[in-house]
Amino acid sequence: METDMTERKPIGTSYVSWIDQQIAEAQRRGSFDDLPGAGKPIPNLGREDAVQAWLRQYAQREGLSTEDMLPTSLRLRKQVERLPETVRELRSEREVRAVVSELNQQIVTARRFPDGPPVPVPLADADADAMVSIWRDSRAQPPVSLPQAHQPAEAVSRPRPRWWRRVSRRRAP
């Protein structure tokens, strides 16, 4: 008679012996043969941070960022710290101010309805003008160029004029 896993435990049998009996019968039937990972060690077994390792592997497998698993206050604090790098990639001052404003709105909402540990997150609103100046400074810097020895001779001798200067020279009478 084949034992079904939904079968009730017989009266007078201990749970341990009944479960061991079902496992032994399943092994005899070959139910555990050719399972994925058979014969391989269990990853991270015995490590103290096995749960964190499992979460990291899950996030990597699902294409998630580990930052998405952080409480809101910590995630917002990281965004405030990365704000100078974020604004350098934006195209206009309006976008910079919009990003700072949106981040501030998220911070205010997180302060009203906190979840997770009480981590103080400063508003980035006072830094909107500072972020705009960082953005402007990043636009003013010339792009990184090759060392002088690797550039063509004409590029080293005379820099090319900016596009608006070329246009204004054409229009000049």
pLDDT band at 129 (very low <50, low <70, confident <90, very high): confident
CA distance 77 to 40: 41
Co-location of 81 and 109 in the same domain: yes
Co-location of 95 and 126 in the same domain: yes
146 in any annotated domain: no
- Nearest Cα neighbor of 137 from 100, 95, 85, 80 is 85
Co-location of 3 and 26 in the same domain: yes
Number of domains in the chain: 3
26 in any annotated domain: yes
135 in any annotated domain: yes
The reported pTM is 0.49
Co-location of 76 and 136 in the same domain: yes
129 in any annotated domain: yes
Co-location of 55 and 5 in the same domain: no
CA distance 128 to 101: 8
Asked if residue 73 lies in contact with residue 118, where contact means CB atoms within 8 angstroms, the answer is yes
Co-location of 62 and 85 in the same domain: no
3 in any annotated domain: yes
Co-location of 45 and 90 in the same domain: no
Question: Which of 8-22, 71-85, 127-141, 159-173 comes out lowest in average pLDDT?
Answer: 159-173
For residue 1, pLDDT beyond 50: no
- In the three-class reduction of DSSP (H, G, I as helix; E, B as strand; rest coil), residue 114 is classed as coil
Which residue matches tokens 């952080």?
Answer: 70
152 in any annotated domain: no
Co-location of 28 and 61 in the same domain: no
Q: Domain residues for 79?
A: 71-140
Co-location of 60 and 25 in the same domain: no
Co-location of 1 and 28 in the same domain: yes
For residue 103, pLDDT beyond 50: yes
Q: Kindly state the percentage of the chain with pLDDT values over 70.
A: 71
148 in any annotated domain: no
Co-location of 16 and 27 in the same domain: yes
